[in-house]
Amino acid sequence: MQTKWWRSGFFYILLLVVVGALIIARVTSEEGPTPVSLPEFVESAKQAEIDTIEHDGETLTGLQGGQEGKAIITTVFKADTDAVVTYLGEEGIDLGAGGIDFYATASGFDWGTIALTVILPIVLLGALFYFLFFRAARGAGTQAFNFSKSRARLSLDKRPDVTFADVAGAEEAKEEVQEIVEFLKSPQKFQALGGRVPRGVLLVGPPGTGKTLLAKAIAGEARVPFYSISGSEFVEMFVGVGAARVRDLFEQAKRNAPSLIFIDEIDAVGRHRGAGLGGGHDEREQTLNQILAEMDGFDTGVNIIIVAATNRPDILDPALLRPGRFDRHIVIDLPDIKGRKAILEVHAKGKPLATETDLETIAKQTPGFSGADLANLINEAAILAARRNRKDITLKELEDAADRTMAGPERKSRVISPKEKEITAYHESGHALTARLLPNADPVHKISIVPRRMIGGWTRLLPAEDRYLWTKSQFNDSLAVLLGGRVAEEITFGDITTGAQNDLEQATKLARKMVTEYGMSDKLGPRIFGQRQELVFLGREISEQRDYGDKIANEIDDEVHAIIQGAYRNSKKILTANKKKLKQLAEELKAHETLDEPDLDKIFKGLAPQPSPG
Ligand code: ADP
Ligand code: MG
Ligand code: ZN
């Protein structure tokens, strides 16, 4: 963001300096004639050295021929003009017609000078202060000066117009909150029947899965006001502000009940108390306490539902989860194929989709995508279509948008040497061919050597369906596929590159998990090594506590090593045996840069998966 020149603190500092210089200049220039004593002044008047006297309330100025240059001044006293005239008269000076002209100038206040010397600097200093402190504070994400008024965003007239129809693929969650909608719609009916409705509902799920959307939809369906606030807003605020804001928020909600309060990212304030680094999180704690107090303080007659969202339920303070608080948990997971298709449909509505476009194809290709990712994908596709001067969005745009979402935008401008391109082609072909030949690896969906963001190329495998369970053979084959890139480099060029770094990292992690978390090592047996635990005060940091000795640690290392070596040997055996295919694939890749399933099928023709070599 570009700051406007008049908004930068630097501008005000500069102005202050300029004004200061002006003031000094003015004061110096006013030194003009040296003041004389009053008797001397009177004497000059008597000698007719002056013909005009001016009185400004404090100073008497005598002018010769009306000329400033010949002025004589004297500082007399603070006095009424009348008193001065009387005094001069008593001294025998003839004022008025025929004598010396006498003028009373102003009140002694030179507003110009006062403005310049007093008011302007104050204003400028104020402005400077504002910029240095207030804006800096805001910039840091705090609302330090915005004391009591809660920033809860209420839209009374615009009660959310989001409905359940906008939330796709979360059927179970929608069913679970249906009861809450009914309650908000007609609380009396519920109370008459003595029904107990949960006061607090916790929506749990990864980012972008539609938690905020669902909360809005509850309010939208029930046509009640929606107050929302985010836990992260409270962090780093002055002590007491967060609590005041919570109080304010609940007050507003009560005034407009039935209503819904939504607390987003509640984990930001609702972490285990007393776990802050150096105890610097009083504010968070106070805010949390206030939320709890408000929830406990509700009379049974208050018709407010509080919905909170988090993707870290594991770190929440247990006090939040107690009965009467957030005791109802609704999990929203990443969508499955059906859900993804439904979400794509919701977002494709109103967009010019080519008639033959089947969104299921895209749904199949996007495991792991959240609702937000899918919304983004449709949007990207629309932009791509516009850029290509198309009137409608075809499967091509959607697939390109999916690639873009996964691997970052293409960087066609990046210059790659022919040698680099060749190595990348063989590397990716190594991944793809290993995947094709190993029975437990996922089918290859697409390969590309168009550089994107940080990577030179990529090979995408695509499981036939969403997977929740992995077998040991699948892991072993995955490892071989991961190492296939490095192996291809080695057997083709007799040398290896840094291009495999990420592959190696993933492979190492996976092998270690197999041994320590999934109990898949024959040698060490079915047990878990190390206790993983989140260090609450360090955020996402995971600490692993060793619950085994050095001997076991060595054995784990040996096992990880053996598993990786085994996978490497597998990959090497397969690729060496199919060197001709590897070359053919790499050459095609060099020529076309991107190959998708039909292309690959043609190249791989007659190449059926082989049983894993020993
Ligand atoms: P969260 O709060 O879980 O991080 P959001 O509710 O903010 O996720 O979702 C962000 C956006 O992603 C929504 O505004 C919506 O466009 C899209 N989205 C997410 N989940 C869904 C869904 N189930 N159906 C339709 N759109 C969704
Ligand atoms: Mg959200
Ligand atoms: Zn690779």
DSSP 67-82: EEEEEEEEE--S--HH
**Looking at the chain, which residues constitute the CATH 3.30.720.210 domain(s)?**
31-108
**Looking at the chain, which residues constitute the CATH 1.20.58.760 domain(s)?**
418-603
A 10 A CB-CB count for 442 gives 17
* DSSP β-bridge partners for residue 446: 460, 596
Which ligand is the nearest neighbour of the Cα of 264? 2
Predicted confidence (pLDDT) at residue 602 exceeds the cutoff of 80:
yes
Whether 168 lines ligand 1, by a CB cut-off of 6 Å, is yes
Given the residues 380, 428, 588, 593, the one annotated as active site: 428
Tell me, what's the pLDDT at 313?
Answer: 82
Amino acid, single-letter form, for residue 185:
K
Tell me, what's the pLDDT at 81?
Answer: 74
What does the pLDDT average to over 386-411? 86
* Ligand 1, atom 15: closest residue by C-alpha: 372
What does the pLDDT average to over 349-373? 87
Separation of 243 CA from ligand 2 center, angstroms?
A: 22
CA distance 459 to 482: 10
pLDDT band for position 607 (cuts 50, 70, 90) = low
- Please state the atom number of ligand 1 nearest to the C-alpha of residue 264: 2
CA distance 281 to 283: 5
pLDDT band for position 454 (cuts 50, 70, 90) = low
Cβ atoms 399, 445 nearer than 8 A: no
pLDDT band for position 503 (cuts 50, 70, 90) = very high
* Both structure tokens of 264: 């987003």
Tell me, what's the pLDDT at 148?
Answer: 44
Q: Which mutation among 172, 209, 359 tests ligand 1's pocket best, with the greatest number of atoms within 8 A of CB?
A: 209
Lowest mean pLDDT among 262-276, 371-385, 394-408: 262-276
- Please state the atom number of ligand 1 nearest to the C-alpha of residue 203: 3
Amino acid, single-letter form, for residue 188:
Q
Q: Domain 153-331 class? A: alpha beta
CA distance 147 to 214: 30
Cβ atoms 222, 184 nearer than 8 A: yes
Q: Which mutation among 213, 341, 346 tests ligand 1's pocket best, with the greatest number of atoms within 8 A of CB?
A: 213
Fold assignment, 345-407: Helicase, Ruva Protein; domain 3 (1.10.8)
Predicted confidence (pLDDT) at residue 104 exceeds the cutoff of 80:
no
Specify the DSSP class assigned to residue 612: P
Tell me, what's the pLDDT at 27?
Answer: 56
Taking 3-state DSSP, the helix, strand and coil percentages for the chain, each rounded to the nearest 5, stand at 50, 15, 35
* Ligand 1, atom 1: closest residue by C-alpha: 208
- Please state the atom number of ligand 1 nearest to the C-alpha of residue 339: 23
Specify the DSSP element, H or E, that contains 585.
helix 579-592
Separation of 310 CA from ligand 2 center, angstroms?
A: 8
Whether 362 lines ligand 1, by a CB cut-off of 6 Å, is no
Predicted confidence (pLDDT) at residue 565 exceeds the cutoff of 60:
yes
Predicted confidence (pLDDT) at residue 605 exceeds the cutoff of 50:
yes
What is Dmax (Cα atoms) for the chain?
Answer: 130
Three-state DSSP state, 175: helix
Q: Kindly report the length of the chain.
A: 614
- Please state the atom number of ligand 1 nearest to the C-alpha of residue 216: 6
A 10 A CB-CB count for 541 gives 10
Which ligand is the nearest neighbour of the Cα of 459? 3
Tell me, what's the pLDDT at 608?
Answer: 57
Whether 160 lines ligand 1, by a CB cut-off of 6 Å, is no
pLDDT band for position 140 (cuts 50, 70, 90) = very low
What does the pLDDT average to over 524-552? 70
Separation of 426 CA from ligand 3 center, angstroms?
A: 10
Lowest mean pLDDT among 99-108, 122-131, 282-291, 466-475: 99-108
Separation of 264 CA from ligand 2 center, angstroms?
A: 6
Active site residue 428: yes
- Please state the atom number of ligand 1 nearest to the C-alpha of residue 213: 6
**Looking at the chain, which residues constitute the CATH 3.40.50.300 domain(s)?**
153-331
Whether 210 lines ligand 1, by a CB cut-off of 6 Å, is yes
What does the pLDDT average to over 394-422? 81
pLDDT band for position 542 (cuts 50, 70, 90) = low
Predicted confidence (pLDDT) at residue 155 exceeds the cutoff of 70:
no
Predicted confidence (pLDDT) at residue 154 exceeds the cutoff of 50:
no
CATH number of 418-603: 1.20.58.760
CA distance 425 to 525: 40
Amino acid, single-letter form, for residue 42:
V
108 vs 478, more confident: 478
160 vs 493, more confident: 493
Q: Which of 79-93, 219-233, 457-471 has the highest mean pLDDT?
A: 219-233
284 vs 152, more confident: 284
On whether the pTM is more than 0.75, the answer is no
Separation of 265 CA from ligand 2 center, angstroms?
A: 7
**Looking at the chain, which residues constitute the CATH 1.10.8.60 domain(s)?**
345-407
Q: Which of 83-87, 324-328, 386-390 has the highest mean pLDDT?
A: 386-390
Tell me, what's the pLDDT at 294?
Answer: 86
Residue the block writes with tokens 């024959």? 522
Lowest mean pLDDT among 8-17, 199-208, 291-300, 431-440: 8-17
Query: Above pLDDT 70, what percent of the chain?
Result: 78
Lowest mean pLDDT among 50-59, 76-85, 375-384, 548-557: 76-85
pLDDT band for position 325 (cuts 50, 70, 90) = confident
Of 44, 59, 57, 56, the residue nearest 100 (C-alpha): 44
Three-state DSSP state, 596: strand
Predicted confidence (pLDDT) at residue 172 exceeds the cutoff of 80:
yes
Contacts of 596 (CB under 8 A, 6+ apart): 399, 445, 446
- Please state the atom number of ligand 1 nearest to the C-alpha of residue 169: 23
Separation of 444 CA from ligand 3 center, angstroms?
A: 14
Pick the CATH number of 31-108 from 3.30.720.210, 1.10.10.1100, 1.20.1730.10, 3.30.2130.30: 3.30.720.210
What does the pLDDT average to over 236-260? 81
Question: How does the average pLDDT of the chain come out, rounded?
Answer: 80
* Ligand 1, atom 17: closest residue by C-alpha: 372
Which ligand is the nearest neighbour of the Cα of 498? 3
Whether 482 lines ligand 1, by a CB cut-off of 6 Å, is no
